[in-house]
Amino acid sequence: MHLAWTPADWEVEISAIRASGPGGQNVNKVSSAVHLRFDIHRSSLPAVIKERLLALSDQRITAEGVVVIKAQESRSQEQNRADALARLVALVQGVAHTPKARRATRPTYGSQQRRLAGKAQRGEVKSGRGKVRLD
């Protein structure tokens, strides 16, 4: 299932906060970091994807089913906002992708014969490593 999805404005709550870490005077004055909150239960996502998101053991998803993403890489609030939205979309699209089910197959006769021949050859090499007896 491929999902080309972007969240609607009402689905995402974005608030500006002060970034942590080094940055000198700029960190103390400017609220450039962004907190993004996305409620999975209230979203317009299909039910299957909601279930998969809630089943994830991701530290960004709270017990109430709210995705919280903090973006503070950039000094620009707009870039942090775009980064947070991109990370949310990547999280949802990662869950939307279902891997193809693997069907078990039997090894071919030729592959079995090659495997056994290789094992026999290896056994010959190892048996030649023993003590040399003069009988």
Cα separation, 59 vs 12, whole angstroms: 18
CB-CB contact of 51 with 90 (8 Å):
no
Residue 16: the pLDDT is: 87
Q: Which residues have C-beta within 8 Å of that of residue 40, sequence separation ≥ 6? A: 50, 53, 54, 61, 65, 66, 67
Domain spanning 10-96 has what CATH number? 3.30.160.20
Stretches where the chain sits below pLDDT 70 are 1-3, 22-28
Residue 26: the pLDDT is: 66
Residue 82: the pLDDT is: 93
pTM score of the predicted model: 0.67
Residue 24: the pLDDT is: 65
